[in-house]
Amino acid sequence: MGRDGAAGLVCLAGSLVLLWATLHLSKAPLVPIGPAFYPRILLSVSAGLSVLLIASDFLRRRRPAAREARYRLVVLTFLIFGGYVFLLSPLGYRVSTFLFTLILQAVIEPPRGGKGWLRVLAVALAATAVTYYAFEIYLFVLLPRGWATGF
């Protein structure tokens, strides 16, 4: 099975799971068609399209070769971003943003020597301070405060 077939299978599975979930929806009072009506139509359509995609993948003889790519950095970046997102609430905006900008810079391009590290630190600190002041103090967006740090 090719790339399209796999994608089609995932979409089909997703549609079917959501379709199954619509079975538990109770009818709404006053609305003649209820909250499940539109999702069922939509998800049936998407399930049908997924099946078509799987079928077309099987019928195709030639498959495009996947382009070579390195996924190490991609995966790492997603993980670091995920960590940032989940630490935002406990650590607060300032601490987590500083850590995130520091670590991600270092991972994308490992700093060389003391000077390199200094630049990474300076950028992380500046990015945090500037965004914090610009948004919280000047633009009145109250950024998350950490429940664990109170900061």
Partner 1 sequence: MFSQLLTSLAEVAQLKFMIPLVIGTWTGLIGGAIPGVTITMTIILVLPFTFGLDPLQGLAAMTGVYVGGCAGGLVTAVLLGIPGTPAAIATTFDGFPMARKGEPGRAIWLGTWASFFGGLLGAIFLVGLTLPLARFALRFGPWEFFSLFIFALSMVAGLTEQSLLKGFISGTIGLAITVIGSDPIMGAPRLDFGSEFLSGGFQFLPVLIGVFAFAQIMTDLEKAGDGRRLEAQAAPDLSVSHPAVVWEILKRPFLLVWSTLVGILIGVLPAIGSSAANVMAYDQAKKISKHPEKFGTGIPEGVIAAESSNNANVAGSLVTIMAFGIPGDAVTAVMLGAMIIHGIQPGPLFITQQPRVSYGIFAAYILAHPVMMVLQWLSARFYLRIVTVPKAILFPVVLVLCVVGAFALNNTVDNVYALLIFGVLGYLMVKFGFPLAPLILGVILGDEIEKNLIRAIMTDPDPWLFLTRPISGVLLALSVGSIALALWQHRRTQARLAGVEPEAEADF
Partner 2 sequence: MKRLAPALALLVAFAAVSLAQPAAAAYPDRPVKLIVPWAAGGDTDAIFRPFGIQIQKHLGATVVVANVTGASGTKGAREAKAAPPDGYTIYAMHDYIHLTYYTGVAGVKYSDFDPICSVSSTPAILTASPKTPWKSWQEFIADAKKRPGQITAAVTLGSTSHIFPALVERAAGIKFKYVSYEGLAPRMNALLGGHVDLGESNLTQKGKVQAGQLKFLAIATEKRSPEAPSVPTLKEVGLNIVYDVTRGLVVPKKTPGAVQAKLEAACKKAAAEPKFAADMALQGTEVRLLDRKGYAAYLKKTDDLSLNKTKELGLFKAPKN
Sign of CA dihedral 137, 139, 140, 146: negative
The reply on whether position 27 binds partner 1 by CB under 8 A is no
Where residue 150 falls (left for φ over 0; alpha for ψ -120 to 50; beta otherwise) is: left
Residues 2-31 contacting partner 2, CB under 8 A: 29-31
Separation of CA 27 from chain center = 33
Among partner 2, partner 1, none, what does residue 82 contact (CB within 5–8 Å per kind)? partner 1
What is the contact mask toward partner 2 in residues 80 to 119, using x (rule: CB under 8 A)?
--------------xx--xx--x-----------------
The reply on whether position 82 binds partner 1 by CB under 8 A is yes
The answer to whether 47 touches 19, Cβ cutoff 8 Å, is yes
DSSP label of 64: P
From the list 6, 33, 74, 125, which residue makes contact with partner 2 (rule: CB under 8 A)?
Answer: 125
Nearest Cα neighbor of 101 from 127, 76, 79 is: 127
The reply on whether position 138 binds partner 2 by CB under 8 A is no
Residues 114-133 contacting partner 1, CB under 8 A: 123-124, 127, 131
The distance of closest approach from Cβ of residue 60 to partner 1 in the complex, given in angstroms and rounded to an integer, is 10
Residue 104 makes CB contacts below 8 A (sequence gap 6+) with 77, 80, 81
The answer to whether 37 touches 58, Cβ cutoff 8 Å, is no
Among partner 2, partner 1, none, what does residue 112 contact (CB within 5–8 Å per kind)? none
From the list 49, 121, 145, 146, which residue makes contact with partner 1 (rule: CB under 8 A)?
Answer: 49
